[in-house]
Amino acid sequence: MDHGTPSAVYCVREKPRSNIDTAMLTQLGLSPGPWLKRVKDQAADPQEEVKIGGTTHRVGELRERLLVSTPGESIAYLTDFRLDVQSEDRLTEMLQGCATIVCANNFRNGERELADRTFHMVSDDVARLAAKVKPRKLILFHLSDRYAHAEWQEQLADVRAVFPETYFPESWNIR
């Protein structure tokens, strides 16, 4: 990213998880047991058979009925850069599906000239990016210390007007 010097952003994503659909397990009248490990083990032959309560079942058939894939958690860390059209497009693509974004919100909207000069974002930039990516949660940090805490609240309100799921870090004790 461009901060007058190179600046990095990060997005960490866990691999998707395979879980047992416990409602389906109950619906099929099957009791949990060690056999579930074979169903979850993708290296196990789908034709392999397991005994459950005296009845033989194929691993592949059980997999189809019982396994559900859930996405892993994801978090992005964005700080110290100016958001231009090119970087916004790259970030929007990179961050799709990201659950939590932790993002610098250095300056208020009225400080666009200062933000551009120092290669930072204003609240509108952060809000627009979050609205495009749609994370479950946006956490603002790295606000300019030129503002009083009451003005930080105004920055939060500006971003929330566009992207309501916006917060400060819990440890700040600022709602």
44 and 100 both lie in a single domain: no
CATH number at residue 108: 3.60.15.10
155 and 88 in a single domain? The answer is: yes
Residue 95 has pLDDT above 80, yes or no: yes
Q: Is the pTM of this model over 0.95?
A: no
Helix/strand/coil percentages in the chain, nearest 5: 40, 25, 40
Statement to judge: residues 137 and 81 lie in one domain: yes
Number of domains in the chain: 2
Is 2 a member of any domain? no
**What is the domain range of residue 97?**
10-14+72-172
Is the predicted pLDDT of residue 149 greater than 90, yes or no?
no
Tell me, what's the pLDDT at 103?
97
Answer yes or no: do 155 and 145 share one domain: yes
From 151, 54, 67, select the one nearest 105 (Cα to Cα): 151
Question: Across residues 16-22, what is the average pLDDT?
Answer: 92
